[in-house]
Amino acid sequence: TSVTSAKIQVNGVHLHYQQTGEGSHAVLLLPGMLGSGQTDFGPQLKSMNKQLFTVVAWDPRGYGKSIPPSRDFPPDFFERDAKDAVDLMQALKFKKFSLLGWSDGGITALIAAAKYPNLIHKLVVWGANASVTEEDVRIYNGIRDVSKWSEKVKKPLEELYGHKYFAETCEAWVDGISRFANNSDGNICQQLLPDIKCPTFIIHGEKDPLVPQAHAEYIHKHIKGSRLLLMPEGKHNLHLRFAEDFNREVENFLR
């Protein structure tokens, strides 16, 4: 089945998304910082079961092909993304759907699942965190300067955005997410976790250099009945690096 690519107006912006499959179970893929469906979910768009699932990968506002507007990071940017994501799926006429969120997209998915419980069927998050610690801020500052990134990670994003937008948006993201460290307990969405009622699967790479394992354990502990899978060799991009294992685990959970 081919992957279609289109834009739809949602909350005053034109959001870009890719869609594939004709299964009755709709699934939304939520990308990470600076991410898009194209850069973040190639193996999922290609290989997830097209008979069981209808897979949608979106570009949040200011990312990927959902520009304009330019990306910004007001204090409620995760809530804004969560509303955009849910409203996009409703605009596409999906009554109920599951969320697969990576990194920032995982945070967005946690918020969406808590705030729109009647719409979310199941939830999978990996590389996500519900709070920002001083250690996290140190890690974020370590990736502030994109010229220090590995060529492999940098290249697709430079091709997508051009160097200037990529570099400036990354700096703005570091400043935006670091602000949460000033909240009590560094809170992003800790208080919402008990409101998540749908079946939830948390995956974490034990070698993730960006998100310490304690974050995955905290989310698991505070979402009742959730499942936690640790991948010993997994890093932050475990769904790309170990796509076959990841897709199999996730499809089994979603069935």
Q: Which of 36, 66, 103, 131 is catalytic?
A: 103
pLDDT score recorded for residue 186: 98
Topology, domain 4-131+192-254: Rossmann fold (3.40.50)
Give the domain ranges of the chain: 4-131+192-254
Q: Which of 40, 84, 104, 208 is catalytic?
A: 208
Q: What is the mean pLDDT of residues 211-229?
A: 98
Asked whether residue 88 carries a pLDDT value surpassing 90, the answer given is yes
CA separation (Å) from 230 to 29, 202, 204, 241?
20, 9, 5, 15
Query: Cα–Cα distance between 67 and 76 in angstroms, integer?
Result: 19
Is 131 annotated in the active site? no
Confidence band for 52, pLDDT divided at 50, 70 and 90: very high
Is 98 annotated in the active site? no
Query: Which pLDDT tens digit goes with each residue over 170-203?
Result: 999 999 999 999 999 999 999 999 999 999 999 9
Is 103 annotated in the active site? yes
Query: Which pLDDT tens digit goes with each residue over 126-178?
Result: 999 999 999 999 999 999 999 999 999 999 999 999 999 999 999 999 999 99
Closest to 62 measured CA to CA, from 99, 11, 19:
11
H or E element at residue 28: strand 25-30
Threshold 0.85, pTM exceeds: yes
